[in-house]
């Protein structure tokens, strides 16, 4: 997703003529859309009151353009947006103004990623989180898949917190007997369910819970009806591996304590600072055995990281580190 305009160092708007660092499709649509605005004039209903443009594109060639307005949009806008969509080869267009949303086409697009030679279908929508760099995302998933693929795991279960639309959940399910995923966002849960059904995966269950809520449920402090509605009995699971992919704020202390109970932790982070903070807690009980960095946002300071931790060997209440080499 990218905005059509940005700010210069002096805080003044400056027009972006092209965006080669983004996807080719974003770059193409951005230029076409700016040409449309220039040719239509400021009084055109599509142009009038517009203050922000967002793009969502996939490696599969699907796209959604989101037009956000200060002024109200109506059926007149919708008819003009349909014409604009036709001129842009049928691209999906979403119009947003205060308390109103109009959609031309579909606001949900299909993405296809190739993971270890197998195509996995995903579904994305504007406003719901998705990994922005498809090619780097494929490498991230393959890395996690490789380092969670052991014979011991085939008969055990995996817990995933912050599963989003099922980016890691779907391909990782092949490495485990069962997978339980949690996600608080309702729209992301719906996208994840659609992903699992489309890929004909039947060993995953998903609960709409925050990490804090799951921690309370797992520790038998509170029982949530949403678990019962999803036909989930936590006592039936044998979790050996937990995967977390938290937001930039990282993990809360209770979730850190929860995941410390499991043999293997896979931590995907979009913020090295909060990752370092959380690792100070996790390395008390676990050793870091794998570490990788993924450049999701080239030419920026943002960095995605992956860490695999293994529980320390204990003997008579003493803890011993595991001697293993880290990935180069």
Tokens read off for 294: 């993924």
Indicate if 304 belongs to the active site. Answer: yes
Q: Annotate the chain with three-state secondary structure.
A: CCCCEEECCCCCEEECCCCCCCCHHHHHHHHHHHHHHHHHCCCCCCCCCEEEEEEEECCCCCEEEEEEECCCCCHHHHHHHHHHHHHCCCCEEEEEECCEEEEECCCEEEEEEEECCEEEEEEEECCCCCCCCHHHHHHHHHHHHHCCCCHHHHCCEEEEECCCCCCCHHHHHHHCCEEEEECCCHHHHHHHHHHHHHCCCCCEEEECCCHHHHHHHHCCCCCCHHHHHCCCCHHHCCEEEEEECCCCCCCCHHHHHHHCCCCEEEEEECCHHHHHHHHHHHCCCEEEEEEEEECCCCCCCCCEEEEEEEECEEECCEEECCCCCCCC
CA distance 151 to 41: 64
Catalytic residue among 126, 138, 183, 304: 304
Catalytic residue list contains 142: no
Calpha distance 176→116 (Å, rounded)? 16
Please identify which of the residues 80, 270, 273, 328 carries the catalytic annotation. 270
Note whether 218 and 258 are within 8 A (CB). Answer: yes
Catalytic residue numbers?
270, 304
């Amino acid at each position: 997703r990218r905005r059509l305009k940005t700010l210069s160092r002096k805080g003044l708007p400056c027009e972006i003529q092209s965006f080669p660092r983004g996807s080719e499709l974003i770059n193409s649509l951005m230029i076409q859309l700016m040409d449309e605005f220039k040719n239509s004039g400021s009084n055109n209903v599509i142009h009038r009151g517009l203050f922000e443009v967002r793009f969502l594109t996939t490696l599969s060639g699907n796209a959604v353009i989101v037009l956000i307005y200060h002024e109200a949009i109506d059926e007149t806008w919708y008819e003009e947006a349909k014409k604009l969509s036709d001129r842009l080869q049928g691209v999906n267009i979403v119009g947003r103004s205060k308390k109103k949303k109009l959609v031309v086409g579909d606001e949900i697009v299909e993405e296809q990623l190739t993971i270890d030679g197998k195509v996995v279908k995903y579904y994305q929508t504007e406003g719901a989180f998705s990994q922005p760099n498809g090619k780097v995302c494929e490498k991230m998933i393959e890395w996690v898949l490789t380092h969670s693929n052991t014979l011991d795991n085939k008969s055990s279960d995996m817990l995933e917190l912050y599963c989003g639309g099922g980016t890691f959940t779907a391909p990782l399910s092949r490495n485990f007997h069962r997978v339980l995923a949690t996600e608080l966002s309702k729209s992301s849960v719906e996208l994840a369910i659609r992903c699992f059904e489309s890929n004909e995966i039947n060993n995953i269950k998903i609960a709409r819970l925050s990490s804090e809520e799951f921690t309370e449920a797992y520790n038998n402090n509170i029982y949530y009806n949403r678990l019962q509605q999803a036909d989930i009995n936590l006592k039936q699971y044998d979790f050996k591996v937990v995967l977390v992919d938290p937001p930039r704020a990282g993990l809360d202390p209770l979730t850190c304590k929860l995941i410390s109970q499991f043999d293997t932790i896979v931590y995907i982070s979009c913020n090295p600072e909060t990752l370092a903070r959380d690792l100070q807690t996790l390395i008390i009980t676990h050793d870091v055995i794998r570490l990788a960095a993924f450049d999701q946002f080239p030419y920026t300071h943002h960095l995605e990281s992956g860490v695999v931790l293994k529980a320390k060997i204990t003997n008579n209440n003493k803890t011993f580190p595991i001697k293993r080499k880290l990935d180069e």
